[in-house]
């Protein structure tokens, strides 16, 4: 068991990595986009696709539910992913960083 002076010294040496905050933000944005994609797909796929096939409307030869959920949804969410990565994701090193680099990176990410 460590004594109090050892754990105090460890706390003084510990520097929270400023990249964690950005990584968490990016992960939450990715999960949110994935959930929105699932809701989009479910709404169009089961909403419009639940009727009898005789009543389907067609877009470019595809049933409207399939076109909206699979084709348009893929284009839309691919575009949203590209926008999200280019506007909100930050370029940062993934290797070990020094205290000075951590301080500089913290200022840059804020």
When divided into structural domains, the chain yields a total of 1
Question: Does residue 10 form part of some domain?
Answer: no
Reported as type and span, the H/E element at residue 62 is: strand 62-63
The 10s digit of each residue's pLDDT in 15-63 is: 677 788 888 999 999 999 999 999 999 998 888 777 788 888 999 999 9
Give the pLDDT confidence of 63-100 residue by residue, as tens digits.
Answer: 999 999 999 999 999 999 999 999 999 888 778 878 78
Q: Is residue 8 part of a domain?
A: no
28 within domain boundaries: no
What sign results for the dihedral spanned by CA atoms 98, 87, 78, 23? Answer: positive
Domain ranges, residue 97: 37-102
User: Does 19 map to a domain?
Assistant: no
Asked whether the whole model's pTM tops 0.85, one would answer no
Count, residues in the chain: 110
Query: What pLDDT, on the 0 to 100 scale, is given for residue 10?
Result: 58
Q: Is residue 98 part of a domain?
A: yes
Q: Which contacts (CB < 8 Å, 24+ apart) does range 62-67 have?
A: none
Give, as one character, the DSSP assignment of residue 53. G
Token code pair at residue 51:
């009727």
Q: Does residue 32 lie within any of the structural domains?
A: no
Higher pLDDT, 69 or 104: 69
In a domain, 109, yes or no: no
């Amino acid at each position: 068991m460590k004594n109090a002076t050892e754990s105090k010294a460890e706390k003084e040496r510990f520097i929270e990595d400023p990249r964690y905050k950005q990584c968490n933000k990016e992960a939450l944005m990715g999960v949110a986009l994935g959930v929105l994609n699932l809701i989009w797909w479910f709404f169009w796929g089961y909403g419009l696709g639940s009727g009898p096939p005789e009543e389907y409307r067609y877009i470019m030869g595809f049933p409207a539910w399939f076109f909206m959920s699979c084709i348009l949804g893929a284009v839309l969410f691919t575009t949203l992913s590209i926008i999200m990565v280019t506007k909100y994701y930050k370029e940062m090193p993934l290797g070990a960083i020094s205290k000075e680099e951590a301080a500089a990176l913290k200022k840059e990410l804020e």
